[in-house]
């Protein structure tokens, strides 16, 4: 990677007429554990149909936009003051929101909030990981678990999921006993596959971690609101497992990706621990006000979840009819394949104006459930890309001429 000045003249700082020389990142005193890594991020391309970042496609209503504007205006009158350092009111609202899913009265002391669930994950690694400690994850899964672990000098150990992307209690237990991790990352529904975890797997992880006495179990439930009927949340296990942490986000179901609000529920001692590593006043007054306003409109916002789920289920049916393989999805996206060259399919869709996600797993692509017209465009484009393709006995799709 080469970093150069943004201006053609490569001008130096004010008062310095020497040009900046091109700077190679390898010439910096970067930590060895960070060398060779690439920044996280999906491609941001200017195409008509964007179905690659798992955003909720439904914009806020006019009424909600008005409410958000009023909340921000009110906060602006006191913008000269620091925000509530502990975000007590927001955490109380989040606790109230989580209570029905948890099946017990969640208390403010059990909830913590930050700038997106990624900051929550970073704080967990700062508090419980670090040099000489190990974090374990089961891949393919959310790549930021690994990247944040490495960024906090926590050793990352990759374990594998089964061929159908599921996890068993036996697999998780064996990994805990083998590695004795400080942090065990589970993802339900899993990103990028969409598969949910049975609660017995989470229980097995917590029990194994308690036996070895090494660390914390983190269940990433960023897509929990999109799960199918009858699929329980790991929140229900919190009263019996003090080393369990459940993380969530307002980016997906609440269509609040631009506000960057993530949170967790856990034992109050976990919240106390995170306050040791959080930055002072880390959550702005504006962020807290926007999040609280969105929670006050939860019924309206969560109504869009059902619309997204309907499009997800439609994608599942349509792709199944095309003979493609699918991972069962409890999220707002569908993982599909199996292609001899998934990059060629990705490129074919892009040429048709539809951007989906190639997460780098050979043979597979991920598509977000968008608005009905966006799903129409995706299905039509995919049909054209696959026209005349061959399907081998093992189910692998080869494009015509490929």
Domain end position, chosen among 247, 275, 296: 296
Same domain, 168 and 315: no
Q: Is residue 105 part of a domain?
A: yes
Residue 380 sits in a domain whose CATH number is: 3.90.1150.10
Co-location of 354 and 239 in the same domain: no
Mean pLDDT of the region 88-99: 98
Instruction: Summarize pLDDT for 296-317 with one digit per residue, the tens.
Output: 999 999 999 999 999 999 999 9
Look at residue 8 and tell me whether its pLDDT is greater than 50: no
313 shares a domain with 377: yes
Residue at a domain's end among 296, 323, 344: 296
Q: Which residues have a Cβ under 8 Å from the Cβ of 189 and sit 6 or more positions away?
A: 195, 196, 221, 223, 224, 226, 227, 329, 330, 331
The whole-angstrom separation of Cα 114 and Cα 274 is 10
Identify whether residues 334 and 257 lie together within a single domain: no
| Residue 189, preceding peptide bond in cis (omega within 30° of 0) | yes
User: Does residue 276 register a pLDDT over 90?
Assistant: yes
Q: How many percent of the chain have pLDDT more than 90? A: 83
- What tokens were used for 370? 């968008």
Question: Which domain CATH number covers 253?
Answer: 3.40.640.10
With a cut of 70, say whether residue 219 has pLDDT above it. yes
Over the chain, what is the mean pLDDT? 92
Predicted confidence band at 13 (pLDDT cuts at 50, 70, 90)?
A: low
One domain for residues 306 and 377: yes
At 318-368, the pLDDT tens digits run: 999 999 999 999 999 999 999 999 999 999 999 999 999 999 999 999 999
Find out whether 271 and 244 touch, Cβ atoms under 8 Å.
Answer: no
Whether residues 223 and 291 share a domain: the answer is yes
Residue 127's domain spans which residues?
Answer: 77-296
pLDDT of 2 higher than 70: no
Does residue 237 share a domain with residue 106?
A: yes
Chain position carrying tokens 């309206």:
300
Q: Are residues 137 and 177 in the same domain?
A: yes
Dihedral in degrees, nearest 10, Cα atoms 380, 381, 383, 386: 180
Q: Do 200 and 269 fall into the same domain? A: yes
- Residue 33's pLDDT is 83
Burial class (CB in 10 A: 0-12, 13-18, 19+), 6: exposed
Same domain assignment for residues 111 and 235: yes
- Rounded-to-10 torsion of CA 183, 139, 374, 250: 0
Q: What pLDDT score was predicted for residue 392?
A: 61
- pLDDT value of residue 193: 97
Over residues 136-188, the pLDDT tens digits come to 999 999 999 999 999 999 999 999 999 999 999 999 999 999 999 999 999 99
Cα gap 327→311, rounded to integer Å? 16
Is 10:19 a contact under the CB 8 Å cutoff?
Answer: yes
Which residue reads 């697999």 in tokens? Answer: 171
Q: What is the pLDDT of residue 401?
A: 65
pTM of this prediction?
Answer: 0.91
The answer to whether residues 323 and 287 belong to one domain is no
Domain boundary pick from 296, 324, 345: 296
CA distance 33 to 174: 26
pLDDT given at position 40: 75
Confidence category of residue 28, pLDDT binned at 50, 70, 90: confident
- Residue 356 included in any domain: yes
pLDDT at 39: 79
What is the number of domains present in the chain?
2
Are residues 121 and 179 located together in one domain of the fold?
Answer: yes
56-84 pLDDT per residue, tens: 999 999 999 999 999 999 999 999 999 99
């Amino acid at each position: 990677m080469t970093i150069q000045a943004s201006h053609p003249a490569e001008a130096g700082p004010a008062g310095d007429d020497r040009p900046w020389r091109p700077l190679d990142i390898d010439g910096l005193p970067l930590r060895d554990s960070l060398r060779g890594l690439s920044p996280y991020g999906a491609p941001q391309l200017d195409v008509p149909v964007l179905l690659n970042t798992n955003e909720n496609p439904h914009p806020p209503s006019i009424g909600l936009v008005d409410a958000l504007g009023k909340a921000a205006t009110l906060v602006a009158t006191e913008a000269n003051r620091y925000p509530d350092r502990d975000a007590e009111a927001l955490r109380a609202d989040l606790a109230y929101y989580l209570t029905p899913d948890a099946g017990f009265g969640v208390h403010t002391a059990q909830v913590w909030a930050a700038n997106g669930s990624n900051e929550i994950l970073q704080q967990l690694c700062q508090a419980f990981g670090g040099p000489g400690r190990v974090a374990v994850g089961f891949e393919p899964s959310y790549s930021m678990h690994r990247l944040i672990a490495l960024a906090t000098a926590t050793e990352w150990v990759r374990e594998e999921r089964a061929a159908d992307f599921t996890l068993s209690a036996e697999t998780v237990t064996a990994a805990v006993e083998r590695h004795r991790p400080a942090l065990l990352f589970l993802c339900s529904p899993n990103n990028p596959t969409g598969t949910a975890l049975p609660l017995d797997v989470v229980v097995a992880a917590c029990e194994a971690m308690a036996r070895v006495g090494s660390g914390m179990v983190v269940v990433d439930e960023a897509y929990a609101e999109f799960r199918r009927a009858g699929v329980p949340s790991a929140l229900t296990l919190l009263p019996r497992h003090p080393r369990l942490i459940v993380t969530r986000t307002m980016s997906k179901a609440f269509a609040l990706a631009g506000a960057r609000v993530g949170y967790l529920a856990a034992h109050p001692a976990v919240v106390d621990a995170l306050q040791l590593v959080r930055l002072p006043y880390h959550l702005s007054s504006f962020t807290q006000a926007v999040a609280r306003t969105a929670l006050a409109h939860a019924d309206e916002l969560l109504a869009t979840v059902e619309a997204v789920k309907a499009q997800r289920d439609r994608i599942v049916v349509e792709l199944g009819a095309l003979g493609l393989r699918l991972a069962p999805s409890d999220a707002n996206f569908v993982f599909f394949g199996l292609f001899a060259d998934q990059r060629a399919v990705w490129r074919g869709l892009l040429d048709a104006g539809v951007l989906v996600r190639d997460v780098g797993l050979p043979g597979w692509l991920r598509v977000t459930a968008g608005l009905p017209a966006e799903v129409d465009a995706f299905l039509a484009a995919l049909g054209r890309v696959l026209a005349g393709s061959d399907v081998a006995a093992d189910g692998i799709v080869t494009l015509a001429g490929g």
